Amino acid sequence: MEQLRSTDREIYELIKLEEKRQFDKIRLIASENYVSSAVLQATGSVLTNKYSEGYAGKRYYEGQQVIDQVERLAIERAKDLFGAEHVNVQPYSGSPANVAVYFAFLNPGDTILGMALPHGGHLTHGAKVSISGKYFNAHSYSLSRETGLIDYEEIRAKALACRPKIIIAGHSAYPRIIDFERFRAIADECGALLMADMAHFAGLVAGGAHPSPVDSADVVTTTTHKSLRGPRGAMILCKERYAAAIDKAVFPGIQGGPHNNSTAAMAVAFKEAATDEFKHYASQVVENSRILAETLIGHGFTLITGGSDNHLLLVDLTSKDIGGKPAAQTLDRAGIVVNYNAVPFDPRKPTDPSGIRIGTAAVTSRGFQEKEMRQVGEWINAVISEPQNDHLISEIAEDIAVFCRDFPPPGLTLP
């Protein structure tokens, strides 16, 4: 980045600081990962310079000979990877992708049914502070108070009562596998479209470590980062009969020209995700989550649902006499990065909730396995047990920085 350094030293220095942070800390944000050098290079390529409103072969600007090939390649690789009939790779991110689905099939005031935000759903699944909750008649389903699991009979009863046009199966903080066939049956019974949001676990689906919603759902949305290890972006997969509606909803419905550099980086990520190495990564993500859950439970931590079947854990810290926000802040000072998060039936406010959310995708990309995850669990326990012990926090941060040097992340060089 010599040109950047000479042009804008401030931004250069900030990027280098972020690079060091990503190298020296154990990143357990469930929605983060490390992309490969190849994905980074495609993201920073000259494709940034090209504007391409429309779709391959049907653009509103000339000079698309190369861009059309890039987008077609990304689409074909995504279709092959997930077994989808149709794929749109133009959404800028996950939230616009979900909004595009609503725009394709709903009118303002129509009814949708999704997982409640405090129970692990996403803002765009009908939260009142989101456009999905303001423009539509949003109903939500909750998790079981006794088990923390999805209650499919409750969903069925709510669906038959409110008759939604779209049911959303997906989450941002649910540590178990979703039964997409049960959702399909409920949607069919009440005459709804089934939309699956697999943004968090798409990489596990691609790697064969998680059931796919593609055959069950009418429409599937996903980001391309998170567990899929691609650039910041999104895509919509759907049955062929919905292709025209989805494409029109994305463009010209809610956005203009696609980010061609991101499209190219997606294509690279999809190629990487079709390899045996990626399959091993996906299975290791799940195993690492299981090992970390086991370690934390052994230290008396309360995990929602009692464990994990995917890449994330949701930890209720009530029994540890610390809120999620101060816990996340203290862990960050110790070199362990998580996010504070509400837990089901949380008595605390969303800005200062009872829990933290932990994900294992990024550390798995670094090469962490069972031994390393047990060590991470020990560090988390030590920090949460003595959050006021500044000496201990500093000592752990130093140990983690040294520890991380044995696990260089993809796409980064040793600071």
Catalytic center residues: 51, 53, 197, 223, 226, 232
Nearest CA among 331, 327, 311 for reference residue 319:
327
Residue type at 309 in one-letter notation: D
d(CA 260, CA 50): 7
Q: How many CB atoms lie within 10 A of CB 12?
A: 16
d(CA 312, CA 316): 13
Residue type at 407 in one-letter notation: F
C-beta separation of 123 from 197 below 8 A: no
Backbone φ and ψ for 114, nearest 5 degrees, come out as: -140, 175
Question: b or e along 51-72 (b: 16 or more beta carbons within 10 Å of the residue's beta carbon)?
Answer: ebbbbbeebeeeebeebbebbe
Backbone φ and ψ for 359, nearest 5 degrees, come out as: -130, 150
Q: How many CB atoms lie within 10 A of CB 346?
A: 18
> 201 Cβ partners below 8 Å, 6+ apart?
210, 227, 310, 311
Q: Which two tokens stand for residue 152?
A: 């499919």
Q: Which two tokens stand for residue 387?
A: 């959050």
Q: Which two tokens stand for residue 60?
A: 């509103």
